[in-house]
Amino acid sequence: MSAVRASFGTDTRVGFIGLGVMGGGMAYCLLRKGYALQVYARKPQAVEGFEEAGAQASATPAALGEACELVFLSVPDAQAVEAVLFGTDGLASTLRPGSVVVDTSTIAPAQARDSGARLRERDVWFLDAPVSGGQQGAESGTLGCMIGGPAPMVDAVREVMSAFCKTITHVGELGAGQAVKACNQVAVAGALLGVADAFALARKEGLDLAVMREVLMGGSARSFSLDKHGPRLVSNAFTPGFRAVLMRKDLRLALESARRSGAVLPAAQLAEELLDALCESGRGDWDWSAAALEVQRRSGLDIPEIPEGG
């Protein structure tokens, strides 16, 4: 087996797979910091802006893996991670011994451990490193990362990851990053439920929503959710942000972990139920905070229509 590399730096050929809302922001951060970047996305048009900014595009994950020793993933779900790593023309077929894959996607802890074990058979390292901070954090390089895996490998990738992360916390062995991310999503979903109830009650009482929010922000009800999502509920503006369909996926992962461990998560269950109704109503691409609208709908209140054409 290859020795653990002490660190990766600006001389490292870095690969990035997945250039959506989150991955795109992280990839641009790496380019701004001067990293030689190789990129791949399923939709060829997604790489055009990155090529103009100085990145090189790869035709397949395998081609990217052949050119890079450190690869980041930011893809939507478990199936995409499996395909990118082990599918036809996947990374695993070409990565050199000693290479490192850092997965910033949100998947189940068990899948992270399984992927890591399969890559170790090829002498490749795998770290699970889900992030928090949303699109704005990705674009500004201020994400928080909870990372699982061997401590020496975590230390080796810190310098590169600092291009898009403000905090990088090693939380345990492989899979622990995903477990902490699940806790994060459960906590923020629960916080939104209280804000959703407050806005539904305020509307039923005929209150000025902006004034109500301002009063709450000045007292013990102040929270990140009220601060960030409250203005969306005041103005009914739900451009993501973080899409509802992805938050639903994250909560389902958390609830599945809870079922396996025997934990009971009533707030997360309700939040997933509200998000499911939101997504099934055709609003899955709205910001996930629009789940609060489902509380208003159940209260007999009108909610925004879906614009014509989606």
Which of 288, 195, 200 is closest to 248 using CA atoms? Answer: 288
The amino acid occupying position 13 is R
Identify the active-site residue in 166, 181, 228, 249: 181
**Run of H or E including 222:** none
Q: Centre a 10 Å sphere on the Cβ of residue 38 and count the other Cβ atoms it contains.
A: 22
CA distance 231 to 46: 31
Is 204 a catalytic site residue?
no
For the chain, how are helix, strand and coil distributed in percent, rounded to 5?
55, 15, 35
| Cβ pair 29, 161 in contact under 8 A | no
| Cβ pair 204, 299 in contact under 8 A | yes
The amino acid occupying position 227 is D
Q: Which two tokens stand for residue 259?
A: 């079922």
Q: Centre a 10 Å sphere on the Cβ of residue 97 and count the other Cβ atoms it contains.
A: 11
Q: Centre a 10 Å sphere on the Cβ of residue 178 and count the other Cβ atoms it contains.
A: 27
Residues in the chain: 310
CA distance 74 to 92: 16
- 80 to 29, 93, 179, 200: CA distances (angstroms): 23, 16, 19, 37
Per DSSP, the three-state class of 130 is: coil
Which residues form the catalytic set?
181
